[in-house]
Amino acid sequence: MTAQLIKGAEVAKQIREELAAEIAELKAKHNVVPGLVTVLVGADPASQVYVGAKEKTSQELGIYSERHDIPTETTQSELLALIDKLNKDPKINGILVQLPLPKHLNETEVLYAIDPKKDVDGFHPVNVGKLMIGEPDYIPCTPHGIWQLLIRSGVQIEGAEVVVVGRSNIVGKPIANILLQKQKNANATVTVCHTRTRDMAFHTRRADIVIAAVGKAKAITADMVKEGVVVIDVGVNEIGKTADGKRILAGDVDFEAVKEKASAITPVPGGVGPMTITMLMMNTVRAAKLAAGLA
C-alpha cells in the first residue's frame, strides 16, 4: 500500500478562506475586527520567522495585528506590565507570547498573566482545564490543527485505537484529551507513550492512528506500524543544511519507509506545520466573537 498524502498546506488554505469570509462578515454585519498581538522577547531567529508568519497571515485575513518586539534584557515585571496593558486593550482579542522565553524570565508566571479570554494559544490553566472537561474555549493550535486534518481527511476517529507518542503540554497531552472526549469526531481509545514507555512498538503496532510528537528525526520506523495505519507527523527536526545553507527538515517518522505501509500520512514539511498558524487565526476569530457576545 502506498499512502494517501494528507496535505496540510491545502487544508490550511481552505480553512483560511473560510476564516477570511467569516472575518469580512463580522466586520460588515457587526463592525467587529478581530485583533491579535504577538510579543517576541529577544531576537531568536526561528522565533522571528514564526512571529513574522503569524503577523503576515493575520494581515492577509483582515485581522488587526500588532507586534511587540522587546529586548532580551526585558525584566519579568516589564513583561508582566505589557501583558496587563494588552489584557485591558479592547482592540486586542488574542495575546500570543512567543516561546521559548529567555532563561531569566518565568514562563509559567507569564502564561498565567494572560487573560484566559485572550489566551488564543490555549496554554492558560483555565483553558487547559476547560479542554480537559470537554468545554473548550480555545484548543491549542498544533493539536487543533491535527484534529482538523484528521476530520477533513475523512479519517475514522470514533472507536479508533490512537497512539500518541510524546506527552508535552503543547501537543501530546492536549491531542490525547481531544480525541478521547465523548463527542463527534472523537471517542477514540487513546494511549500516550513517552520516554519511559517500556515497549513503544508494542503500542504503535496496534494503532489505527499514530500521532508522533517525539522531537527526534525518524523515530517511528516501518516495523513499528501496522498495514493501513494513519500517521500524523508533528516533528520538525533539522537533519542538515543544503550547500546554500538552507535547513533540511525531517519529521519524527521515517516517511519513505512508513508511507509504503500507511493508508494516509502527513509529509514534513507541508503537513501539520501549515495548520498551526491557521488554527491561531481561528482561535483569534473565536476570541473576537466571544468578546462581542456572538459565540
Q: Is residue 204 within the footprint of ligand GUN (CB under 6 A)?
A: no
Among 36, 105, 113, 141, indicate the residue that binds ligand GUN (CB under 6 A): 141
Q: Is residue 278 within the footprint of ligand GUN (CB under 6 A)?
A: no
Q: Is residue 281 within the footprint of ligand GUN (CB under 6 A)?
A: no
β-bridge pairing 247-250 and 237-241:
antiparallel
4 or 48: whose CB is closer to ligand GUN? 48
Minimum gap (Å) between residue 132 Cβ and ligand GUN: 19
Angle at 232 between CA 231 and CA 236, to 5 degrees: 125
Q: Is residue 58 within the footprint of ligand GUN (CB under 6 A)?
A: no
Binders of ligand GUN: how many residues, by CB under 6 A? 6
Among 99, 151, 180, 249, indicate the residue that binds ligand GUN (CB under 6 A): 99
Q: Which range, of 85-93, 94-102, 242-250, 286-294, touches ligand GUN by CB under 6 A? A: 94-102
Q: Which range, of 13-21, 92-100, 227-235, 250-258, touches ligand GUN by CB under 6 A? A: 92-100
19 or 39: whose CB is closer to ligand GUN? 39
Q: Which range, of 96-104, 127-135, 191-199, 205-213, touches ligand GUN by CB under 6 A? A: 96-104
124 or 261: whose CB is closer to ligand GUN? 124
Minimum gap (Å) between residue 141 Cβ and ligand GUN: 5
Rounded CA-CA distance 236/186 in Å is: 26
141 or 211: whose CB is closer to ligand GUN? 141
Minimum gap (Å) between residue 46 Cβ and ligand GUN: 9
Q: Which residue is nearest to ligand GUN (CB)?
A: 99
93 or 98: whose CB is closer to ligand GUN? 98
Q: Is residue 275 within the footprint of ligand GUN (CB under 6 A)?
A: no
Among 36, 79, 83, 96, indicate the residue that binds ligand GUN (CB under 6 A): 96
Minimum gap (Å) between residue 114 Cβ and ligand GUN: 10
Q: Which residue has the cell 500524523?
A: 232
Active site residues: 54, 98, 121
State the DSSP string of the chain.
--PEE--HHHHHHHHHHHHHHHHHHHHHHH----EEEEEEES--HHHHHHHHHHHHHHHHHT-EEEEEEE-TT--HHHHHHHHHHHHH-TT-SEEEE-SSPPTTS-HHHHHHHS-GGG-TT--SHHHHHHHHTT--S---HHHHHHHHHHHHTT---TT-EEEEE---TTTHHHHHHHHHSSSTT---EEEEE-TT-S-HHHHHTT-SEEEE--SSTT-B-GGGS-TT-EEEE---EEEEE-TTSPEEEE-SB-HHHHTTT-SEE--SSSSSHHHHHHHHHHHHHHHHHHHTT--
The amino acid sitting at 238 is E
Among 61, 95, 97, 264, indicate the residue that binds ligand GUN (CB under 6 A): 97
> Are residues 189 and 160 in contact, defined by beta-carbon separation less than 8 angstroms?
yes
Nearest by Cα to 228 from 208, 204, 257, 248 = 208
Q: Is residue 98 within the footprint of ligand GUN (CB under 6 A)?
A: yes
Residues that bind ligand GUN (CB under 6 A): 96-99, 121, 141
